[in-house]
Amino acid sequence: MTDSPGWAAPGSPSDGQGSDADRPAAQPSGKGTTPAQAPGDANTPAQAPGPTADAKWSAAQPPPGQWDSPAPGRTPQPATPPAQQPPAAGWGTQPGSPYQYPGGWGSTPPAAKPGIIPLRPLGLGEILDGAVGTLRGHWRPVLTISLVIAALTQITLLVIQRTWLNDLPTAGEDLTPSQAVKLMGDTALVYASQYFLEILGLVLVTALLAPVVSRAVLGQASTLSDTLKAVRPLAPRMLALTGLLLLGAVAAVFLPVLPGILTGSAALTALGIPVGLVLLAWFYVTFVLAPPALMLERGSAVAALKRSAKLVKGSWWRVFGISLLIWLIRTITAMVIVMPFAAIALVVSPEGLSGLLDGTAALSWSFLLISAIGGVVGATVTVPMQTGVTTLLYIDQRIRREALDLELARAAGLHGYGTATTAERPGG
């Protein structure tokens, strides 16, 4: 039992059990008897026993403090001593939970919040709010790092587009079978390159911004120089982890379709595509926490992969759902940001709307450059949201499984935090 606000002491008036010291002493009475006369009151005549008293008062009364009369024809149950009465359950009360608050109805006690999140297991709203709070409160290092990675990614994608799509036939041309196959292969290569470049950017931004998010959790400020200083010793390991993740993603996608490609079977290739997508989703979610694990635990690349798999185990669907939700939010937000740039690119492009319909506009430098600028702006704003959610998921999983909140509280200078037992802590 603690003295913190929000606790209701057992036996207090708040839970319907008044103190026996505040009640008048009950006089013993039997059937047909009346209360005893007060001493010294000799002039008061004693009332004779009769049926009137039996009809008005029952021999067994309900327990004190319970505002409920027994139903007609039902024998009242004997009162349970106050010390043996179980606490009243409310909305959301967990069985065996030590928390019973007046007006709280089974809610958890307020946790310490030195930074962007409370130091306890997090909900979806708190994770999203923490990611946005990191972007809002530490925008200088966040946007600078995100801008550099987004610019490098878009430049690489622009080169790939110009290299593989330069000699593609237009929509009005009659395609031979070999040209159709080449068109499909080059288009698939461009989209695959775009996807893997996006994964690369997410991994790098997540790793680079993990120290910023960890400082934001502790309520500490971050600068670009401090972030780079923390990241610089781990740069070789970060690059090794990025390479392993890219190789794993490529293997998850292409291994299932490789038999169909080698045998020339279109049906076998089509069958391997959904299998590859499922494997890619499993691979991504299983190792999504590896970048923050590497940067915050400072282990090797292989150790970070094992750490992510261990933290995600048993919570795969939760991590998958949150990651998918933030990916949808980020994609929709990025599309809204890119749309004005795409409209400007169509206006500036010599071919205009007709060039967009026949595919020639996508090959002009003006269209590609303006679209790339829009992609850089959209990625700069939205990628930190997803990477922040990933780092907070890592912290949340460690709080749930390893009581990381105690270490975070000590690092934040919260003296006396965590003196309660594990059962008394939220989520313990």
Range of the domain at 228: 133-424
On average, the pLDDT of the chain sits at 75
Mention every residue, 6+ apart, whose C-beta is less than 8 A from residue 12. none
What's the CA gap between 109 and 120, in Å, rounded?
Answer: 10
Amino acid identity at 420: A
List, for residues 308-326, the tens digit of each pLDDT value.
999 999 999 999 999 999 9
Residue 265's pLDDT is 82
In terms of pLDDT, which residue wins out, 380 or 110? 380
Residue 177's pLDDT is 67
Classify residue 89: in a domain, yes or no. no
Neighbour-count burial of 148, counting CB atoms closer than 10 A to its CB (0-12 exposed, 13-18 middle, 19+ buried) = middle
In 3D, which of 328, 330, 347, 343 has the Cα closest to residue 374? 343
Classify residue 149: in a domain, yes or no. yes
Query: Does residue 35 register a pLDDT over 90?
Result: no
Residue 65's pLDDT is 41
Classify residue 13: in a domain, yes or no. no
CA 46 to chain centre: 75
Instruction: Determine contact, residues 301/241, Cβ cutoff 8 Å.
Output: yes
List, for residues 196-218, the tens digit of each pLDDT value.
888 888 999 999 999 999 999 99
Classify residue 412: in a domain, yes or no. yes
What integer is the mean pLDDT of 68-90? 46
What integer is the mean pLDDT of 242-247? 92
Query: Does residue 295 register a pLDDT over 70?
Result: yes
What's the CA gap between 75 and 200, in Å, rounded?
Answer: 74
Residue 116's pLDDT is 93
What's the CA gap between 78 and 70, in Å, rounded?
Answer: 11
Q: Please list, residue by residue across 98-128, b when 16 or more beta carbons sit within 10 angstroms of its beta carbon and e when fewer do.
A: ebbbeebebbbbebeebbbbbbbbbeeebbb
In terms of average pLDDT, the best of 45-49, 175-179, 296-300 is 296-300
**% of the chain at pLDDT higher than 70:** 63
Instruction: For the chain, give the number of residues.
Output: 428
What's the CA gap between 309 and 288, in Å, rounded?
Answer: 9
Classify residue 339: in a domain, yes or no. yes
How many structural domains is the chain composed of?
1
Classify residue 56: in a domain, yes or no. no
Q: 96: which DSSP letter?
A: T
Q: What angle do CA 282, 285, 289 make, to 5 degrees?
A: 145
Residue 85's pLDDT is 47
265-274, 333-342, 358-367: least confident range: 358-367
Residue 348's pLDDT is 78
Mention every residue, 6+ apart, whose C-beta is less than 8 A from residue 263. none
